[in-house]
Chains A and B, each alone.
Chain A
Amino acid sequence: MAERIVVDPVTRIEGHLRVEVELENHVIKNAYSSGTCVRGIELIVQDRDPRDVWAFVQRICGVCTTTHALASLRSVEYALDIKIPRNAHLIRDIMNATIWIHDHIVHFYHLHALDWVDVVSCLSADPAETSKIAQSISDWPNSSPGYFANVQQKVQKIVDSGQLGIFANGYWGHEAYKLPPEVNLLAVAHYLEALEWQKEIVQIHAIFGGKNPHPHYVVGGMATPLDNNSDNAVHIERLMHVSRLIDEATDFVNKVYVPDVIAIAGFYKDATYGGGLSNYMSYGDFSKGDIRDVDQYRVPRGVIINGNLEDVQDVDPTLHTDVQEFIDKSWYKYGNTDSGEGRHPWEGSTEFNYTGPKSAYTQLDVEQKYSWLKTPRLRNEPMEVGPLARIMIAYAKGDADVKQLVDDTLKKLDLPITALHSALGRTAARALEAVLAAKWMREDMDELLNNIKNGNKITFDRTKWEPSSWPSGEAKGVGWVEAPRGALGHWIVIEDGKTKNYQAVVPTTWNASPRDNNGVIGAYEASLVGTPMVNEEQPLELLRVIHSFDPCLACAVHLTDLESNKQIDIRLG
């Protein structure tokens, strides 16, 4: 077998991922991505009351908790034909926008920035120069030379202590780092500010959902009592608090996050790698009307094949052809067969069939099954989902807000639209859509406040709460959500008031899937091919590409590989 570099686990992600790549002349020639732990959430909700399922599935992941709850609710409401009240729709969208912004900012600063920012280099920065740069790109108030000098001292203290913590695994001084020390210092300062900021924003979930993590929802709307006259309800003070958090989030996105991304990208214009498939899919979400009104989605639905922006195709999650999961390279079986068959999630199953190595191994046998992730395909095509997919589809569909944001950004950087097909493009797309999410959150909150002012406090429709009101026989539902990481779908089959079958196809499964029945590679694998690696023992560029997707395998997999105590294992061979 060819020489392979193994990165297992990929750190600074949520969950457990293994990547193996083959190199030729310092360029990645071939790549394999493997989820190395198993998930079985579908099995836990079997036979349960569909009204309870959301509460179980939101525990798939502590990070994406609310998006799984939302997808589950929508699947049940689809199956039972329940239309939720306007206020409930607004609250759900505000909560989803909250998780978008929280996730995107935590991803950029705390999971991804250190691939582009050299922390140690910031120690040699001139704080006065950093201050000048900061003031030239934003009117964010924390920008004095003294402020940046203070940050520098904090980092110095950590370095002096010898306990580098999360900074210990960095490839500091790697030649692929291009930022001047002063910009590194700016980014590190905002790393700290973002940590502080993100503590507050999730209070929006705690207020509307009663608690966080794992806020309360209900099939048919929201369990949020809107009442100014009760201390136990969501009263005006709490609503004003939400309002203030939304404004602070908007400020942080526009004055810190976006200027930082643009400033950093300016030094990495030659980092054009990491694009990959150029196939993009979005189910769409954030409807101005109801979730059924697909034509009113603020995140449009669509599919782009081979980067062709002239032809945006459609996707329908209820169609057998549009979402099919293959298991040719996955440790599952479908009844008596373990390959060649793609199943739509309504007919899907979760039957483990581990055929991989029984003990420690040096590299995966990719001729056989090699991942705990299944392989979803849309009309036999692999898809990338997530921020870049959404931005490309909205741009191609001529969405005015997206066009303006994208064109302005590209103009500042003097780059063509094709530059977005890259790791850095993915990272930039995430920042741009945070701008939009903040705007929608403000719009939705204003509408909610207005409704309450006019006496509309309804958040729950109970007409179909009782199972006696449900259709007899079998009812099928699908709930789709544009989650921070991309298109999320939950499919449910209800029979006699119980959950007969349940399947979730999560964004990271689309992106990190192994090869399909035709040997076609998935989004992670494709994005790695062609990526240069100047130092193969320090796979910085590989991490940039993988991190640019914001992998979250907590939902895709469950940690069972407990014997390895190592943080990271990079091997040749």
Chain B
Amino acid sequence: MKNNYGHIIVMGIGNTLYTDEGLGIHILPYVKEALKQNGLTDVEVYEGSTDSMSLLAPIDRADYLLVVDAIKAGKAPGEIIALTEEEIPKYFSTKLSVHQVGFQEVLFAARLLEQLPKEMAMIGAQPYSLELGVELSKGMKEKLPKMLDMIVAQVKRWRA
């Protein structure tokens, strides 16, 4: 959908088989709902899962990209973490990501192709659990509303 601001994508990455590692995916239905309630209907919500180079397609489409993911940053479990553009490559280059996808390599590939979004941001939280399990931990579920607020706020900033 075209608008004056450019194309905004909220992309969740992660794996729903390992509890909080699936944060970026489990949150997406709520993201859709929250965006709708705020009238932000022209935002694309993309399930990136653990895909690798194929993610170049949505990255190329995006003028503004918000990545949602579990972030292991040595913080207390449940601590919400927002990373700005400059911090994202650093985050991935040290392999803090909790799943196998080389997302940093995907971003580099996008840079090579000169298809990086105008702006990127990342929102996530330190996981409580990475054990096998198809649901988020109880603690993480309680953090979702706060993260949703931050996601909506970020989208609104881009549209301003």
| Chain A interface residues toward B at CB < 8 A | 14-16, 40-41, 43-44, 56, 59-63, 65, 102, 106, 110, 154, 158, 163, 165-166, 192, 195-196, 198-200, 202, 211-214, 553-554, 558-560, 562, 564-567
Contact = CB atoms under 8 A, between A and B. Distances in A.
A292 B60 CA distance: 42
Nearest to B104: A165
Given A59-B17, A202-B54, A213 B112 contact: no
Given A14-B100, A165-B111, A196-B113, A567 B95 contact: yes
Interface string B123-140: 000000010111000000
Contact of B112 (A16, A41, A192, A558): A192
Contacts of A40: 132
A552 to B, nearest CB: 9
B51 A106 contact: no
A15 B50 CA distance: 11
Contact of B53 (A198, A212, A558): A198
Nearest to A61: B50
9 closest Cβ pairs, A-B complex: A62-B50, A165-B108, A199-B57, A213-B51, A62-B51, A565-B94, A40-B132, A554-B100, A213-B49
Given A213-B47, A562-B130, 10 more contacts: A14-B52, A14-B100, A14-B102, A44-B132, A56-B17, A62-B52, A158-B111, A202-B57, A566-B95, A567-B95
B132 A43 contact: yes
16 contacts: A14-B102, A15-B100, A56-B17, A56-B134, A59-B15, A62-B51, A63-B50, A154-B112, A213-B47, A213-B49, A213-B50, A213-B51, A214-B49, A565-B94, A565-B95, A566-B95
A40 B102 CA distance: 22
Nearest to B96: A565
B72 A562 contact: yes
A62 B132 contact: no
Nearest to A16: B100
B26 to A, nearest CB: 12
Contacts of A62: 15, 49-52, 100-101
Interface size class of B (residues with CB under 8 A): 35 or more
Contact of B108 (A166, A562, A564): A166
A14 B150 CA distance: 32
B132 to A, nearest CB: 5
Interface in B75-127: 89, 93-96, 98-102, 104-105, 108-109, 111-114
Contacts of B49: 59, 62, 65, 213-214
Contact of B16 (A59, A65, A196, A565): A59
Which of A62, A166, A192, A214 has the most chain B CB within a 10 Å cutoff?
Answer: A62
Nearest to B110: A195
B17 A44 contact: yes
Which of B49, B99, B112, B113 has the most chain A CB within a 10 Å cutoff?
Answer: B112
Given A14-B100, A110-B109, A195 B56 contact: yes
Contact of A195 (B47, B50, B53, B134): B53
Interface string B45-71: 001111111101100100000000000
Nearest to B61: A199
Contacts of A16: 100
Contacts of A163: 89
